[in-house]
Amino acid sequence: MNRDWIATARTLSEALPYLQRYSGSVVVVKFGGNAMGDDEAMAEFASDIVLMKQVGVNPVVVHGGGPMINELLAKLGIESRFVRGKRVTTKETVQVVEMVLSGLVNKRIVQAINDAGGRAVGISGKDDDMMVCEADDPELGFVGRPVEMNVQIIRDLYTAGMIPVIAPVATGMADNETFNVNGDTAAGAIAGALRADRLLLLTDVAGVKNAEGEVVTQLHPDDVRAMIADGQIAGGMIPKTETALKALQDGVRAVVILDGRVPNASLLELFTEHGAGSIIRSTKSSTRPHGLRQGGTEQ
């Protein structure tokens, strides 16, 4: 008998406790980075999301789109400026942001999921006033910080068998302004409002690294704060880990920062013993690396 078939069957058998563990759960996946611009990586990501839905998970996709926004702004002759890693968003820029995120990027992901056999529906944080924001920082212009969340529309979609794909564009509290929301921030707010079981932040790095450059596979919030304080967590990883801490405070069971460039990264994280990337959660001990006891119950 073909050894590859035997290995595939063994892998499926070993995944059983994890499939049982996550059946019926809500998993919010932030999709971004270089994988978004690669057709093959996009198709693979879409297949992973469809498989999640097929085995009983309720995936909710939140996406970014920075490179595509930069490209269109450059074509329009509009300069891109960033402060502390966040895009300075003028009234002119926010129109381009909404056009790219809610239009081009959102519908491309929806189409990829539908092509993979799923039933995806693209929306933004403005639909049904799902995400209402106030200005994050006057220096950033129309960059929003979520202050009110209404996620019933998301529940309605996944209960009906759909896969929600959400663009991080939101409504302002005053005068119905449009706000650009950082993709990780939006994903964290949505995951918290849904009390999601997992928030997966797909990035272009392997996970949270220590001073020796090694990926730390398990982290407690206290570990994260200490690593930020002593500079082990720096640069673009700071807002990701801060998003993770806020999501945990809001009721998300665990947050994982993982490399979206790795084939089937989300499936490796959810359905294998060792997972992928760095998991951050409030519990400190576990008999298995990603929280399953023998028999499939999380500590």
Detail the residues annotated as belonging to a binding site. Answer: 65-66, 87, 180
Binding site residue list for substrate: 65-66, 87, 180
Q: How many helices (H) and strands (E) does the chain have?
A: 10, 14
As a whole number of angstroms, the distance between CA 206 and CA 213 comes to 10
> Under 8 Å CB-to-CB from 212, ≥6 apart: which residues?
none
Give phi and psi for 175, each to the nearest 5: 60, 15
Nearest to 144 by CA among 123, 120, 172, 121: 172
Query: Which element (helix H / strand E) includes 83?
Result: strand 82-83
Q: Is 230 in a helix, a strand, or coil? A: coil
